Structure 1
Amino acid sequence: MNTTGRYQLIMAADRVPPADSDDCIDHVDAGLSALRAYTDLQAGTWLAADTGKTADSADAAHAAALLRSLCHHQPAAFPEGWFDDYLAVNRRLAATATCLAAEQAVIWVHGHRLQLLPGVMRRLRPDLGIVMQLHSAFPPAELFVRLPEHRELLSGLLGADVVVLPYRRAAANLLDLAGRVHGLPVRDGQIAVGNRRVRVLAYPMPADAAGIRRLARSGPVRARAQQIRAALRVAGPVLLSVAGWDPAEAVEQRLVAFDRFLAEHRPAPATIALLHVGYGEPRTPAEHDHRERVDRLIAKVNGTYAEVGQPVVHYLRAAPDRRELTSLYLACDALLATPDHHGTAAQAHEFVAAHGSAPVVVSELTCDGADLPGAVVVNPHDTAAFSAAIARVAGVSASVPLAGSAGTAPAPEAWARRLMAVVRARAAAPAQANRRRQPATAGSTRPAGHPAPHDNPRKIDAR
């Protein structure tokens, strides 16, 4: 029990995740929930931004949604004065964190809503170790600098000792923004800021595969899976697609490829189907437009190939918790997980964990398949190749390839321990680290002849 009111670790996020990860409805929520036990062991606490209790916090939440849209290449119109409310929420949270943090504690910041928090905390509490984690994309520099406040946002991020992004291209975009656009010295995946070096890592939060395996063995979950499968009334393979409304999920490309597959192979009625689950609600005009296009595509495919009482695309708008999601995994035979330019292979790992091994199609734009041996890797924009991949995992054109985990992804707690070791090592001696730094060149994201340290997100060190 903490009797001092000071904590060694503060998890700062837009919300406190559920105590039971089975109640979570998305990968990030589930990952954060899995870290609750680790936070307790580290004498830590959770600190959540206000969720709409004041006008400025509601405006800041809207601003965070717009930032997320910008990072996902969606059009985003920022209203006048948005930054003032956004800054106010970050400052308010920083004031609370300052009072809660013990000497040389670590503050771990999550999400677009708190991008300014590391910079504010650096000024208030320079003794703290700070890690900033964005669980979704970071855009190309040319897109980010359209925001008049891009300097302030970058300064906020670079208040951290370590900035963590979900994949290599996102990390490269941040390094490019700092070096080429803002002229900061960049070398070996690190950005020199005054007498500090900020480490930029591609180190995605791992899927909670153990939690999915546990649920997959649960009697109620398995019974629900049988109920779903019986309701589908499909004798052959059922392909599963689960996605939100971000156009970058490439759901339209999945549907177009499935349409082509049906046109080319003409499977008999009720011998194959696609179950698409659209979760959450659209949050931006681009997402509303995307949902309308998905609706029309599904209607087109079913209008062309369905029979009375037997659609070929089963469509749910739902927000499944982890129990229901695992039931959906078990009820289906293959997974299409093909985001366009953001995301990780977490969903594919979960599907494989539920089945032991299973047919999975992933996107070459966001996953190289190295940690999912046997996965079919496609460009979701190559309709012919995508259609052929669907034929493969459906067992139409060849033997069905089965994906399995390479076993290299750490469990969430082990993943967190590795990251915290990097943060604490860098926070302990920033000046010494700076003295060891070789001269860096502004605008250079890596020295010639040396690989970027974030090329392998599974292996990180404390440099």
Structure 2
Amino acid sequence: MNPTDRYQLIMAADRVPPTDPDDCIDHVDAGLSALRPYTDLHTGTWLSADTTDAGTEDVAQAAAQLRSLCHHQPAVFAEDWFDDYLAVNRRLAATATCLADEQAVMWVHGHRLQLLPGIMRRLRPDLGTVMQLHSTFPPAELFVRLPEHRELLSGLLGADVVVLPHRRAATNLLDLAGRVHGLPVRDGQIAVGNRRVRVLAYPMPADTAGIRRLARSAPVRVRAQEIRGALRVAGPVLLSVAGWDLAEAVEQRLAAFDRFLAEHRPAPATVALLHVGCGEPQTPAEHGQRERVDRLIAKINGTYAEIGQPVVHYLRATPDRRELASLYLASDTILATPDHHGTAAHAHEFVAAHGGAPVVVSELTCDGADLPGAVVVNPHDTAAFAAAIARVAGISAPVPMAGSAGTEPAPEAWARRLMAVVRARAAAPSQAARRRQSTSAGTTRPAGYPAVHDNPRKIDAR
């Protein structure tokens, strides 16, 4: 990136994704990496919060706490967390201001950068801005417990479009803006002054094409055979892949598997669960969950395993996409049952790798319409979840096979549609008139916009 160049698209994220999508280590990485060709095609560049040198560790911790808050989990913020958080957002905004061409689009992603859209609206009112959060948004009553909730809302509402992973998240944001802060809300839009912010439920799609390509490759297929051989299980292997976020509902999966074993008593070598715990815990709540998961797995194996043959194979690892595809192929079914995420990405990828497979998904995050044949359960209903495990394991009924409905767009098609919405919003008469108020960056704040940038502890909610 040359500091004298100007770009039509600025991708600002909490990380710069790998150039090779096969090196990605999670779905966010994979989704962002899939957007690299689109970014290059549209004269774009990437900015990352990690490239700043001010309080990045503290900001990463704050982002993890914000993610926990959005997932209805305990969140404990340091008293001065917001100062570092604001500093990183301002520093990234200063860089983006110099790099963005006239009438460019700023695409902001992630919990570390929720103030950035608001700051950019003041510095560069000519830009169109989209704010994308891949995590859910909490109910208003939970969000307002955070003393800085006004500043965060102000930052989000600096965007022309806010993108969230599902309808419930969008409804929560609209409720916060309207009922709590008194902003006019209508038809999925929030009026801020005389402009309108559109709130979309439009989840980033899983990179199923990439997984399908990897699943056909010889190295991945060989690795899958190695994994399967090491498991030494003659019957079905159930796969579970999750981080330490409590929203993954890993404890509920283990409780259901424990009940399935108690009810059906399969021999250890005839069925097994392979659980992959990805990454490292980021918050006290996540550290607590890892300890509980460790104990649950030890309890299950202590009760049902035989010497040399566990019933739960437990791996703490951060697999890249090649290893993940191998794990998919080595397994017969997957339990993809988070209770607060907006998509069932692992389930979609598992089906893509196999060309159709039995999967269990959560009714709290997936209605099954885009995965016909999937077994849909409430992950908190242990009895029903255990029965679903018996179904996909082929013990209590014929195994149901899930397939893709074929309605999910490819990442580039998803990005094109979203960019069209952002550009249309930015070019709308009321928006364009406001942008023409300033011909030089940073001289005019649009009338009626919350005054968070001058005093980060205040908000004007007109």
- Which TM-score applies when normalising by structure 1? 0.92
Structure 2: how far apart are the matches of 1:290 and 1:20?
A: 32
Structure 1 partner of 2:142: 143
SS at match of 2:55: helix
Structure 1 partner of 2:166: 167
Deviation at 1:219, TM superposition (A): 0.3
Structure 2 partner of 1:280: 279
Q: For residues 178-237 of structure 1, what are the alpha-carbon distances to aligned partners after superposition, in whole Å with 9 as ceiling and x for unaligned?
A: 011111111111111111111111111101111000000010000000000000000000
Alignment-mate amino acid for residue 102 of structure 2: E
Deviation at 1:376, TM superposition (A): 0.4
Alignment-mate amino acid for residue 341 of structure 2: H
Structure 2: how far apart are the matches of 1:14 and 1:254?
A: 30
Structure 1 partner of 2:321: 322
Structure 2 partner of 1:344: 343
Structure 2 partner of 1:309: 308
Structure 1 partner of 2:207: 208
Q: For residues 252-300 of structure 1, what are the alpha-carbon distances to aligned partners after superposition, in whole Å with 9 as ceiling and x for unaligned?
A: 1111111111111111230000000000000111001101111111111
Deviation at 1:58, TM superposition (A): 2.5
Map 1:4-43; keep pairs closer than 5 Å.
5-43=5-43
SS at match of 1:50: helix
Map 1:55-454; keep pairs closer than 5 Å.
55-431=54-430
Structure 2: how far apart are the matches of 1:265 and 1:434?
A: 68
Alignment-mate amino acid for residue 8 of structure 1: Q
Q: What 5-or-longer segments of structure 1 have no aligned partner?
A: 436-463
Alpha carbons of structure 1 residues 357 and 75: separation in structure 2 relative to 1, 3 Å? same
Structure 2: how far apart are the matches of 1:4 and 1:297?
A: 56
Deviation at 1:403, TM superposition (A): 0.6
**Aligned CA-pair RMSD:** 1.6
Alignment-mate amino acid for residue 254 of structure 1: R
SS at match of 2:155: helix
Alpha carbons of structure 1 residues 354 and 267: separation in structure 2 relative to 1, 3 Å? same
Structure 2: how far apart are the matches of 1:127 and 1:220?
A: 49
Question: Which moves more between the two structures, 224-233 or 137-146?
Answer: 137-146
Deviation at 1:314, TM superposition (A): 0.4
Deviation at 1:434, TM superposition (A): 11
Structure 1: how far apart are the matches of 2:358 and 2:97?
A: 49
Structure 2: how far apart are the matches of 1:28 and 1:168?
A: 19
Alignment-mate amino acid for residue 233 of structure 2: V
Deviation at 1:50, TM superposition (A): 3.2
SS at match of 1:54: coil
Structure 2: how far apart are the matches of 1:414 and 1:55?
A: 36
Question: Which moves more between the two structures, 56-65 or 173-182?
Answer: 56-65
Alpha carbons of structure 1 residues 432 and 324: separation in structure 2 relative to 1, 3 Å? closer
Alignment-mate amino acid for residue 36 of structure 2: R
Question: Which moves more between the two structures, 139-148 or 2-11?
Answer: 2-11
Structure 1: how far apart are the matches of 2:136 and 2:45?
A: 26
Deviation at 1:71, TM superposition (A): 1.2
Structure 2: how far apart are the matches of 1:126 and 1:432?
A: 10
Deviation at 1:121, TM superposition (A): 0.3
Deviation at 1:48, TM superposition (A): 1.0
Structure 2: how far apart are the matches of 1:293 and 1:434?
A: 56
Deviation at 1:343, TM superposition (A): 3.6
Q: Is the 8 A contact 1:197 1:430 kept in 2?
A: no
Structure 1: how far apart are the matches of 2:433 and 2:360?
A: 44
Q: For residues 370-393 of structure 1, what are the alpha-carbon distances to aligned partners after superposition, in whole Å with 9 as ceiling and x for unaligned?
A: 100000000001111101100110
Q: Is the 8 A contact 1:164 1:201 kept in 2?
A: yes
Structure 2: how far apart are the matches of 1:55 and 1:213?
A: 40
Alignment-mate amino acid for residue 29 of structure 1: D
Deviation at 1:331, TM superposition (A): 0.1
Structure 1: how far apart are the matches of 2:256 and 2:417?
A: 40
How many residues are matched? 434
Deviation at 1:342, TM superposition (A): 2.1
Structure 2: how far apart are the matches of 1:344 and 1:5?
A: 37
Deviation at 1:345, TM superposition (A): 1.2
Deviation at 1:14, TM superposition (A): 1.4
Q: Is the 8 A contact 2:195 2:431 kept in 1?
A: no
Structure 2: how far apart are the matches of 1:68 and 1:430?
A: 35
4+ residue segments displaced more than 3 Å = 1-4, 432-435
